[in-house]
Amino acid sequence: MVDTVLLAEPRGFCAGVEMAIKALTWMVGLFEPPVYCYHEIVHNAAVVGIFRRAGVVFVDSMTEVPAGAAVMLSAHGSSPEVALAAANTSAVMIDAVCPLVTKVHHEVKRRADEGYEVIYVGHVGHDEAVGTVAVAPHAVTLVDPAAGLGDFTPADPSRVALLAQTTLGVFEWQSVLAEASSRFPELWTARRSDLCYATTNRQRAVTALAEQADVVLVVGSENSSNTQALVRVARSCGVPAHRVEGPESVDPAWFAGARVVGVTAGASAPDASVRAVIAAVAPRHGVRTVQVTEEGEYFPPPPQLRGFIEALQAAVEGGVGCRTPGRPGPLDEDRAWDATRALDLLASMGG
């Protein structure tokens, strides 16, 4: 029997996921079903399931969306072509891309416009990588972090830039950075890596868990890049680590001879799944938090959602065209609720 669960802090929802889940919850409240979402809003099966039951239809192509529908684009970021198609065919289009992904899109575009060949370190087929490469496909080469640069040969070795998917393992990024820096001494790369604060903080926390635990469990879905990175980081510390979707995927055989089990969660995994996994582990001496830092990041709702709700409010208040100056709008209270509450609300409505 397990003595103690060590619970990582920070873990679970990041500011980008918070923003995206709350924005899609607004869409569900504002529009008759179906609301369409291009790609999974975040890569978590439980979250996607709640939205499906609330009337959201997830699609992988804009051709699946009827003209005049309400459409949301996912947190991972979309290609310029998809964003344009969504804007042209939908009645309302809200882009819930995380601002930290948008920052990488801007970096890719700027370097490509300046004539750089861009090495983008990311996972083939991942939604974020697909959307980012599509910003400047003629100038970008996608490199898997596990494979390294291989036979990448730029036309001008003095004009090479290195950018990355936000959710890579830090050690994977550092390995490609070292290889690229040695092959291209004039390499351009961002002063701070593109790996986001949530990725690096959760990896620091899982490293701290791995130093104290006999086994580490990472709650999150298979297609969640940062979840998979947490598993790889824990294993790189020499500790057995397993990804679990929820309590049903916990295997008691993993705990044979283990006294301390570490638990963390990827940035798209809801706290309800974490609590259920801890209940399945059933530590006899309870749970102790291992905190490596505090997070206070907050991303406001997408601008299109703000604009839509303000226009709606103005229409309700008498069609004056903009809301009364100084009068609070619904989104002014956005910090007062969180994605966990949004999901609970949807679930209680039968979602």
C-beta of residue 94 within 8 angstroms of C-beta of residue 71: yes
- Shortest Å, Cβ 105 to ligand SF4: 11
Residue (97 or 281) nearer to ligand SF4, CB: 97
Residue 230 is a binding residue for ligand SF4 (CB under 6 A):
no
C-beta of residue 37 within 8 angstroms of C-beta of residue 59: yes
d(CA 347, CA 351): 4
- Shortest Å, Cβ 184 to ligand SF4: 26
Residue nearest to ligand SF4 (CB): 16
Q: Which two tokens stand for residue 203?
A: 């990896």
d(CA 150, CA 76): 27
Residue 101 is a binding residue for ligand SF4 (CB under 6 A):
yes
Degrees, nearest 5: CA angle 259-263-264: 160
d(CA 168, CA 173): 7
Closest residue by Cα to residue 231 from 245, 221, 216? 216
For ligand SF4, what does the binding mask look like between residues 329 and 348, x meaning CB under 6 A?
--------------------
- Shortest Å, Cβ 314 to ligand SF4: 31
Closest residue by Cα to residue 232 from 149, 172, 164, 292? 172
Q: Which stretch binds ligand SF4 (CB under 6 A): 22-30, 80-88, 196-204, 310-318?
A: 196-204
Q: Which of 189, 193, 203, 226 binds ligand SF4 (CB under 6 A)?
A: 226
**Tokens 């961002």 sit on residue:** 190
Residue 267 is a binding residue for ligand SF4 (CB under 6 A):
yes
Q: Which of 5, 73, 75, 234 binds ligand SF4 (CB under 6 A)?
A: 75
- Shortest Å, Cβ 265 to ligand SF4: 12
d(CA 29, CA 143): 40
Residue (179 or 297) nearer to ligand SF4, CB: 297
State how far the alpha carbon of 52 is from the alpha carbons of 36, 223, 239, in Å: 10, 18, 36
- Shortest Å, Cβ 299 to ligand SF4: 8
Residue count at the site for ligand SF4 (CB under 6 A)? 15
Q: Which of 44, 132, 167, 227 binds ligand SF4 (CB under 6 A)?
A: 167
Q: Which two tokens stand for residue 164?
A: 């990355």
For ligand SF4, what does the binding mask look like between residues 7 and 26, x meaning CB under 6 A?
-------xxxx---------
**Tokens 């640069």 sit on residue:** 149
Residue (196 or 343) nearer to ligand SF4, CB: 196
Residue (86 or 101) nearer to ligand SF4, CB: 101
For ligand SF4, what does the binding mask look like between residues 289 and 328, x meaning CB under 6 A?
----------------------------------------
Q: Which of 78, 132, 199, 221 binds ligand SF4 (CB under 6 A)?
A: 199
Residue (260 or 269) nearer to ligand SF4, CB: 269
- Shortest Å, Cβ 11 to ligand SF4: 12
Of 128, 245, 310, 333, which is the active-site residue? 128
- H helix or E strand, kind and range, residue 197: helix 197-212
3-state secondary structure of 8: strand
d(CA 104, CA 15): 17
Is residue 186 among the annotated active site residues? no
d(CA 245, CA 220): 5
C-beta of residue 22 within 8 angstroms of C-beta of residue 42: no
How many CB atoms are located within 10 Å of the residue 135 CB?
20
The set of catalytic residues is 128
Binding site for ligand SF4 (CB under 6 A): 14-17, 75, 98, 100-101, 166-167, 196, 198-199, 226, 267
